[in-house]
Amino acid sequence: MTITDEINVLKEEKNAVILAHYYVNPEIQDIADYIGDSFYLSKVAAGLKEQTIVFCGVSFMGESAKVLNPEKMVLMPDASADCAMAHMVDEDMLKKVRDEYEDLAVVCYINSTASMKALSDVCVTSANAVNIVKALPQKNIFFIPDRNLAHFVAEQVPEKHFVYNEGYCPVHEKISVEEIKKAEKKYPSALILSHPECPKEILEISDYIGSTTGIIKYAGKSENKEFIICTENGVRYKLEQDYPEKKFYFTETEPVCKDMKTITLEKVLHVLETGENEVHVTDTLREGSRKPLERMLELTK
Ligand code: 13P
Ligand code: SF4
């Protein structure tokens, strides 16, 4: 039996389902029952029938799945896979901003800890942040933790006043304009497709800005045949699978999220066999963080 066969047998036995983000390695995407961006995965996680969820992603993803499914077992193939940006919020600053502004909504990117979600009014992902912020009744928006996504949303929703937090994704932050220009020189007819976690100067030279699913869909619909992709290199697998007639290029220093890449087939098999790395969230934290997550799902219907 191959390791994939073993995983499939155990999945049946344990009534388990495998969710994976586009940034994980191709062999993990191959065994997943659902692959997608953060929004798609949280929507899927909210409506699963299986008793065990194996989440091939980073800790905030498993945590959100557990919050939405308190009665289920959520397993992380690698318990140390984490998102650095999720921790880039200062609770004291959050309290200060709440005290300072009366008509305020704290908008929390899903890439955050459950404790930060619990202090927020609504969660968003890169796929729905603009529409959710537009729909909020409050004039003032404190957007945590990502400053780049916050600036992108602020440009699309000029009627709101934004207060910024200094968080960022170390992977998208490192994508350089110089390297994009170099790629453009080499592939002059390529369009630049970027994730809104990229810094402003990259978004300014992009032809399209969207979530990982947005980027994949745009590349499919576009008449263009070549693209420079400014996000984590895991999306290449789906892009090349779905559009073999098109060409996808990355910057010379390919953006890699090391945490997403720590997940291996062996680790997936191991957690299915042992039930190790189960996600636990306290009742208080679950109650607090469930509301903004459910509000996000409600507002995106
Ligand atoms: P999306 O899944 O919303 O595209 O975000 C990318 C990301 O960084 C996930 O951690
Ligand atoms: Fe976090 Fe960036 Fe990795 Fe996404 S790519 S999980 S935002 S560190």
Query: Ligand 1 within 6 A of 38 CB?
Result: yes
Same domain, yes or no, for 164 and 292? Answer: yes
Q: Which residue puts its alpha carbon closest to atom 10 of ligand 1?
A: 111
Same domain, yes or no, for 267 and 251? Answer: no
Contact 272, 34 (CB under 8 A): no
CATH of the domain at 129: 3.40.50.10800
Query: Ligand 2 within 6 A of 149 CB?
Result: no
Q: Which residue puts its alpha carbon closest to atom 7 of ligand 1?
A: 38
**Domain of residue 135, residue span:** 85-169+288-299
Residue 57 has pLDDT above 90, yes or no: yes
Average per-residue pLDDT for the chain: 97
CA distance 97 to 141: 10
Same domain, yes or no, for 194 and 249? Answer: yes
CA distances from 46 to 70, 93, 107, 208, 210 (A): 11, 31, 20, 29, 23
Q: Which atom of ligand 2 is nearest to the CA of 197?
A: 7
Q: Which residue puts its alpha carbon closest to atom 7 of ligand 2?
A: 169
Task: Tell me: ipTM over 0.95.
Answer: yes
Q: Which residue puts its alpha carbon closest to atom 9 of ligand 1?
A: 38
CA distance 162 to 154: 7
103 Cα: distance to centroid of ligand 2 (angstroms): 31
Whole-model pTM: value is 0.96
What is the percent of the chain with per-residue pLDDT over 70, rounded to a whole number?
A: 100
Same domain, yes or no, for 165 and 292? Answer: yes
Same domain, yes or no, for 58 and 190? Answer: no
Q: What is the pLDDT of residues 95-145, one digit of tens each?
A: 999 999 999 999 999 999 999 999 999 999 999 999 999 999 999 999 999
- Structurally, the chain folds into a number of domains equal to 3
- Give the pLDDT band of residue 195 (cuts 50, 70, 90): very high
Same domain, yes or no, for 146 and 90? Answer: yes
223 Cα: distance to centroid of ligand 1 (angstroms): 25
- Give the pLDDT band of residue 148 (cuts 50, 70, 90): very high
Mutate to test the pocket of ligand 1, among 195, 208, 216 (most ligand atoms within 8 A of CB): 195
Same domain, yes or no, for 128 and 186? Answer: no
126 Cα: distance to centroid of ligand 1 (angstroms): 7
Listed in sequence order, the residues at least 6 apart from 199 whose beta carbon sits closer than 8 Å to its beta carbon are 148, 168, 172, 173, 175
- Give the pLDDT band of residue 90 (cuts 50, 70, 90): confident
Same domain, yes or no, for 66 and 209? Answer: no
Q: Which ligand is nearest to the CA of 261?
A: 2
For position 301, what pLDDT does the model report?
Answer: 82
CA distance 183 to 189: 10
Burial (CB < 10 A; 0-12, 13-18, 19+), residue 152, is: buried
Same domain, yes or no, for 161 and 295? Answer: yes
Same domain, yes or no, for 56 and 93? Answer: no
